[in-house]
Amino acid sequence: MKKCIFIVTALAFLLMSTCVWAGKLAIKGSTTVLPIAQKISEAYMKEHPDVKISISGGGSGNGIKAIIDGSTDIANSSRFIKDKEVNLAMKKGVYPVPFRVAYDCIVPIVHPSNPVNNLSLDQLKGIYQGKIKNWKDVGGPDLRIAVVSRDTSSGTYEVWEKKVMKKERVFPGALLQASNGAVNQAVGKNKNAIGYVGIGYLNETTKPVTVNGIEGSEATTLNGTFPISRPLFMFTQGWPTGDALNFLNYLLHPKKGQPLVTQCGYVPLY
């Protein structure tokens, strides 16, 4: 009987030890940063099999909201935190800490059959304002333009609004999508469509368009010549510790995480 009690107690202690030492990490937010988070997580969990990482999208705004309310350990964001978000965090006694993890550029895309290869910033703004309505007005076929944009909770949308729209709103007739992948899919299925995605989402289903004659690439992102480029961030609630700190150190390591950023199609820090 005493032997049985000892075995049960030992098993209980073992289970408790497993629960205590097994790490869990939640990452939420930007769909632009999502492929980086997924790639790094896969590699990190291979090296640290005791750590389990859960990842979800939802947009930069939702990621920062989650870091403020404490429902995630790391928030992905394709934009910097806003003043109103900082103020909300401070009221709750939360101090979001930003980490620049990669660079990106936002590339306009069209259907592969579309002969248009270049658009100026002014033309892009006119299209997304609804003022330029036909492809023939920008050197394309006589077809009505189907405008595809991101939803307003997206950091990609906010950078587009700032750098292309110059703070003016996208016109109400635009088809709003919740992720880069959804934009790619919508444009790839509609020969009249135009959209925009992070460079890591470019694939053969759509055709990238140069902006002001400049191709979106690693080189033009780093030297600042591509006009719609940006840094990508991860935020933590206060200075990170434990698994969150180890994960970010892995991601920022020039020989570990940063080469994986390149594999995702994004631009590494160095």
Structural domain includes residue 73: yes
Is 147 found in the same domain as 119?
yes
Is 133 found in the same domain as 51?
no
Structural domain includes residue 17: no
Q: Which amino acid is at 244?
A: A
Structural domain includes residue 11: no
Structural domain includes residue 251: yes
Listed in sequence order, the residues at least 6 apart from 186 whose beta carbon sits closer than 8 Å to its beta carbon are 148, 175, 177, 193, 195
Up-side HSE of residue 98: CA atoms within 13 Å toward CB? 15
User: What pLDDT sits at residue 93?
Assistant: 95
Is 132 found in the same domain as 42?
no
Number of domains in the chain: 2
- Tokens standing for 175? 């088809």
Structural domain includes residue 196: yes
How does pLDDT run across 115-125, given as a tens digit for each residue?
Answer: 999 999 999 99
Q: Are β-strands 229-237 and 96-110 bridged in parallel, bridged antiparallel, or unpaired?
A: antiparallel
Q: How far is CA 257 from each of CA 25, 102, 132, 260, rounded to the nearest angstrom?
A: 17, 10, 42, 5
Structural domain includes residue 6: no
- Tokens standing for 11? 């098993």
Q: What is the CATH number of the domain that holds 49?
A: 3.40.190.10
- Tokens standing for 98? 């930003």
CB atoms within 10 A of CB 112: 12
Residue 256: pLDDT over 90? yes
Is 257 found in the same domain as 210?
no
- Domain limits for position 179: 105-222
Is 110 found in the same domain as 206?
yes
Residue 19: pLDDT over 80? no
How does pLDDT run across 239-248, given as a tens digit for each residue?
Answer: 999 999 999 9
Is 136 found in the same domain as 214?
yes
Average pLDDT over residues 61-70: 96
Is 207 found in the same domain as 154?
yes
User: What pLDDT sits at residue 23?
Assistant: 82
Whether the Cβ atoms of residue 34 and residue 55 lie closer than 8 Å to each other = yes
Please identify which residue in the block is written with the tokens 């999508």. Answer: 177
What size, in residues, is the chain?
Answer: 270
Is 84 found in the same domain as 35?
yes
In the predicted model, what is the mean pLDDT of the chain? 91
Eight-state DSSP code of residue 212: T
Structural domain includes residue 256: yes
Is 84 found in the same domain as 32?
yes
Kindly report the pTM of this predicted structure: 0.83
Please report the DSSP string for 86-151 in residue order.
Answer: HHHHHHTT--EEEEEEEEEEEEEEE-TT----EE-HHHHHHHHHTS--BGGGGTS-S-B-EEEEE-
Is 91 found in the same domain as 126?
no
pLDDT band at 222 (very low <50, low <70, confident <90, very high): very high
